[in-house]
A = this chain, B = another copy of it.
Amino acid sequence: MANELPNFADVLAAAARIAPHAQVTPVLRSRSLDALVGAELHFKCENFQRVGAFKFRGACNAVWALTDDEAARGVVTHSSGNHGAALALAARTRDIRAHVVVPEGAVKSKLAAIEAYGATLHRCAPTMAARDAMAAQVQADTGARLVHPFTDPRVIAGQGTAALELLREVAALDAVFTPVGGGGLIGGTAIAVAGIAAQTRVLGAEPAGAADAYESLHRGERVTDLVPDTVCDGLRGTIGAINFDLLRRYNVEVLTVDDDETLAAMRLIWQRLKILVEPSGATVLAVLLRYRERFAGQRLGLILSGGNIDLDDLPV
């Protein structure tokens, strides 16, 4: 099903499939942030999702969509970030093997988290070619199914369940904002929103230093040669082909923000909502602060994608 676009039925199926395993995350509000932006903000807190990010939704859907025979051979991915941890935990919920290909030099604490969830690490040189070769090798050796972090249709459908929950809890939103990296979350969100609240717009927030989705939409073709430069480590991926198709089909608009705006927005979220979000997650508030007048008085949903900050970087 590699090139099939997932649809609303897939999102609904994903919601049913992951319900026994995933959290229904809370939607938080803040009077002071509403006042600051001049709009009514509803924050969908995926930092409270298992493994601390929405990524668990997609990984869990992919794992539980496998047949028993497929599942018996395990799953494999290449991600030393949230998707790697998410797939490891998702595999554990089904009691199957997960293999995670990680580049030499990846952050130790993240690797430790992936191993703690029971996955097998496979180290490779830090190049795309070495990574793909290692993943192919693992597939050949074990028969494991590759679960790509954002182009897998079942992953995309799973990510859409966050917006589904948000829209069922908060009616009549004018727009829903999500961060944009490889496009799994925004793609799934666009499908879910179109299915349940067609009048609600979907907007993406992308770091100016990794604005390949923004550029792709403006040029009308996928831009794959940008070199990302952003503190948002979750948003450095290049928009996938299937994801780009979804952005266009659902008329998604992408807005960009600078990293200093994103970090200021992150501080605001920490201070006012008393929750930890990672920089990637704060982009959605950052774009609203930048384009405040455009959204004044509207009722808006913001998906806070994750909360995995390395506290070793902080003096606490």
Q: How far is the CA of A151 from the CA of B314 in the complex (A)?
A: 36
**A311/B274 in contact, CB under 8 A:** no
Q: Which of B28, B274, B315 contacts A276 (CB 8 A)?
A: B274
Minimal beta-carbon separation of A263 from chain B (angstroms)? 7
Q: Is A271 close to B, CB under 8 A?
A: yes
Pick 19 A–B contacts, CB within 8 A, sort by A: A26-B26, A28-B48, A48-B274, A52-B274, A263-B316, A266-B316, A267-B311, A267-B316, A270-B276, A270-B311, A270-B316, A271-B311, A274-B275, A274-B277, A276-B276, A314-B314, A314-B315, A314-B316, A315-B315
Q: Which residues of B contact A316 (CB under 8 A)?
A: 263, 266-267, 270, 314
Interface string of A282-316 (1 = CB under 8 A from B): 00000000000000000000000001000101111
Q: Is A61 close to B, CB under 8 A?
A: no
A263 nearest in chain B by CB position: B316
Q: Is A47 close to B, CB under 8 A?
A: yes
Q: How far is the CA of A274 from the CA of B308 in the complex (A)?
A: 8
Q: Which residues of B contact A48 (CB under 8 A)?
A: 28, 274
**A274/B307 in contact, CB under 8 A:** yes
Minimal beta-carbon separation of A25 from chain B (angstroms)? 10
Q: Which of B47, B271, B315 contacts A274 (CB 8 A)?
A: B47
Near B by CB (< 8 A), chain A positions 232-276 give 263, 266-267, 270-271, 274-276
Chain A interface residues toward B at CB < 8 A: 26, 28, 45, 47-48, 52, 263, 266-267, 270-271, 274-277, 307, 311, 313-316
Q: Which residues of B contact A28 (CB under 8 A)?
A: 48
Q: How far is the CA of A45 from the CA of B275 in the complex (A)?
A: 11
Q: How far is the CA of A26 from the CA of B270 in the complex (A)?
A: 17
Minimal beta-carbon separation of A105 from chain B (angstroms)? 23
A23 nearest in chain B by CB position: B29
Minimal beta-carbon separation of A303 from chain B (angstroms)? 15
Q: Which residues of B contact A266 (CB under 8 A)?
A: 316
Minimal beta-carbon separation of A224 from chain B (angstroms)? 32
Q: Which residues of B contact A275 (CB under 8 A)?
A: 274-276
Given A28-B48, A263-B316, A266-B316; 8 other pairs, CB 8 A cutoff: A26-B26, A267-B316, A270-B311, A270-B316, A271-B311, A276-B276, A313-B315, A315-B315
Q: How far is the CA of A48 from the CA of B273 in the complex (A)?
A: 7
Q: How far is the CA of A271 from the CA of B26 in the complex (A)?
A: 18
Q: How far is the CA of A314 from the CA of B48 in the complex (A)?
A: 22
A307 nearest in chain B by CB position: B274
Minimal beta-carbon separation of A286 from chain B (angstroms)? 14
A109 nearest in chain B by CB position: B271
Minimal beta-carbon separation of A271 from chain B (angstroms)? 6
Q: How far is the CA of A263 from the CA of B316 in the complex (A)?
A: 7
